[in-house]
Amino acid sequence: MQSLYVEGNSVMHRLSPRLKLVSLAALSVVLFITDNLAPLSIAVLLTAVLYGMVGLPFADALRRLRPIFLTIAVVALFNLIFNPWHEALVPLLRLTALMLFAATVTATTSITAFIDEVTALARPLERTGWVQADDIGLALGLVLRFVPEIVTRYQAIREAHRARGLKVRPTSLLAPLIILTLKDADNIAAAIDARGIRRHGS
Amino acid sequence: MSTRDLVLTALFAAIIVALGLLPPIYLGFLPVPITAQSLGVMMAGVVLGARRGAIAVMIVLLLVAIGLPVLSGGRGGLAIFTAPTAGFLIGWIFAAFVTGYLSERLVNDQQSGLVQTVSFFLTAMVGGIVVLYAFGITYLATVAGLGFTKAFVGSMAFVPGDVIKAVVAALLGRAVMVGYPLLPLRA
């Protein structure tokens, strides 16, 4: 699976992931405090410049944001029908600026850097007994490892249906897919424990 | 959390991700495709129960947040959470939790198949529709500035599709209960 990270050396690439996440949170607070169109428009311009500096080809940069921008625009249009234009424009600008900055953070932070950051942030939570920080990386790795296998398995089940002339229905396809996949859990868990990957595990 | 539970949640998260990669499934009588990922959220609760189901969904959202295009249509990245519909994504966690919580309490393996299926349907409706839409509509109303009435009306268009998904989730919940029961051994 191709991540959305873009190789590069822009200002945003060089900042630490934590600083970027904190700025994203801070920006969202600031944007939601103000109702004034002028600072909101400036925010859109600045975040657009920042996103432009990431180094994505123009078409790619647009394609990534199209589905999100479409929902923002549709809601704004919906808003425009019922409310004065000022009230429709404020959320449009606000969310567009936030979207551009969030996309910049995603494009300039590698998956590894993100996982390290998430693990570091979860470390203090270990004391509550809710989560083991190292499990997060393990779980994410397991997902990425097994997605291709599940897709292959789905295709095999579908082929088997066709070969037997059965109708392809969601229930008859997904039930064996789920059962077969989850039945692997015992073996995978045994393999993880045999390697002592989770030393704290029960 | 035992290693087995950790693996189960990760595998279920992988199933939800895979559902986004698969071609959409068409039901015989409807021209509308089932986008299977939100079905996966109901299934997580029905199959794994409250805690493991909610964690499976959280893993998917974490993958989105760290920049992997794991949502249907290859969407991903932090920007997803700035869309006006982001409340529905956050609501996924609570939808899976409530669906699972109710399933753990309503369904057991002594019941007949019909009782199990109907109970699963009700839990999927409450968790996957009532709870999910409460989050989605609140977010749409406040963050996108749409106001509650309009956000509510606008969202209702998607309810029929989700009712069908609840039916599918109920049938699957029952099928997994027969084939490989996980719900009674809750985490």
Query: Which residues of B are less than 8 Å from A1 in CB distance?
Result: 68-70
Q: Where are the beta strands (DSSP E) in B27-179?
A: 33-34
For residue B75, the SS3 value is: strand
Give the pLDDT band (50/70/90) at residue B11.
very high
CB contact under 8 A, A139 and B14: no
Which DSSP string do the residues of A89-127 spell out, in sequence order? HHHHHHHHHHHHHHHHHHHHS-HHHHHHHHHHHHGGGGG
Query: Which residues of A are less than 8 Å from B8 in CB distance?
Result: 182, 185
pLDDT for B122? 97
pLDDT for A188? 95
Q: What contacts A128, CB < 8 A, 6 or more positions away? A: none
- B186: pLDDT strictly greater than 80: no
Give the pLDDT band (50/70/90) at residue A202.
very low
- B185: pLDDT strictly greater than 70: no
CB contact under 8 A, B3 and A198: yes
Of B17, B34, B179, the CB nearest to A175: B179
Over residues A77-105, mean pLDDT = 90
Length of chain A in terms of residues written: 202
pLDDT for A201? 46
Question: Where is pLDDT greater, at A89 or B1?
Answer: A89
- B28: pLDDT strictly greater than 60: no
**b/e string for A106-127 if b means 16 or more Cβ within 10 A?**
bbbbbbebbbebbbeebeeeee
How is residue A143 written in tokens? 């997902």
Q: Which of A69, A188, A175 is nearest to A139 (CA)?
A: A188
Q: Which of A188, A82, A113 is nearest to A145 (CA)?
A: A188
* pLDDT tens readout for residues A19-68: 999 999 999 999 989 889 999 999 999 999 999 999 899 999 999 999 89
* Chain A nearest CA to B44, separation (Å): 10
Count interface pairs A-B at CB distance under 8 A: 210
Length of chain B in terms of residues written: 187
pLDDT for B127? 96
Of A176-185, B39-48, B65-74, least confident by mean pLDDT is B65-74
* Chain A nearest CA to B88, separation (Å): 13
For residue B19, the SS3 value is: helix
Query: Which residues of B are less than 8 Å from A174 in CB distance?
Result: 36, 43, 168, 172
* CA distance to A12, B28, B51, B119, per residue, from B186 (Å): 44, 35, 8, 17
CB contact under 8 A, B28 and A169: yes
Over residues B155-180, mean pLDDT = 90
* Chain A nearest CA to B3, separation (Å): 5
CA–CA separation, B92 vs B59, rounded Å? Answer: 11
- A116: pLDDT strictly greater than 80: yes
CA–CA separation, B182 vs B7, rounded Å? Answer: 13
Over residues A154-159, mean pLDDT = 92
Q: What contacts B20, CB < 8 A, 6 or more positions away? A: B36, B37, B70, B71, B72, B73
> Which amino acid is it at B84?
P
CB contact under 8 A, B77 and A64: yes
CA–CA separation, B13 vs B4, rounded Å? Answer: 14
Tell the burial category of A165 from Cβ atoms under 10 Å away from its Cβ (0-12, 13-18, 19+).
exposed
How is residue A197 written in tokens? 């990957």
Q: What percent of chain A has pLDDT over 70?
A: 99
Do residues B165 and B95 lie in contact, with contact meaning Cβ atoms separated by under 8 Å?
no
CA–CA separation, A155 vs A151, rounded Å? Answer: 6
For residue B26, the SS3 value is: strand
**b/e string for B123-141 if b means 16 or more Cβ within 10 A?**
bbbbbbbebbbebbbbbbb
Query: Which residues of B are less than 8 Å from A169 in CB distance?
Result: 27-28
CB contact under 8 A, A114 and B66: yes
Query: Which residues of B are less than 8 Å from A91 in CB distance?
Result: 84, 143-145
CA quadruple B108, B109, B111, B115: dihedral sign: positive
- A84: pLDDT strictly greater than 90: no
- A150: pLDDT strictly greater than 50: yes
Q: What percent of chain B has pLDDT over 70?
A: 91
Mean pLDDT of chain B: 89
Over residues A112-122, mean pLDDT = 92
CA–CA separation, A80 vs A93, rounded Å? Answer: 14
CB contact under 8 A, A147 and B17: yes
pLDDT for B73? 79
Give the pLDDT band (50/70/90) at residue B25.
low
A202: closest chain B residue by CA: B2
pLDDT for B33? 53
* Number of CB atoms found within 10 A of residue B10's CB: 25
Could you report the predicted ipTM of this complex, rounded to two decimals? 0.89
CA–CA separation, B28 vs B45, rounded Å? Answer: 26
CB contact under 8 A, B11 and A182: yes
* pLDDT tens readout for residues B47-75: 999 999 999 999 999 999 999 989 887 88
Interface test mutation site (partner A, options B8, B32, B68, max chain A beta carbons within 10 A): B68
Do residues B96 and B41 lie in contact, with contact meaning Cβ atoms separated by under 8 Å?
yes
CB contact under 8 A, B145 and A67: no
- B29: pLDDT strictly greater than 70: no
Interface test mutation site (partner B, options A44, A106, A111, A197, max chain B beta carbons within 10 A): A106
* Chain B nearest CA to A128, separation (Å): 13
CA–CA separation, B106 vs B112, rounded Å? Answer: 12
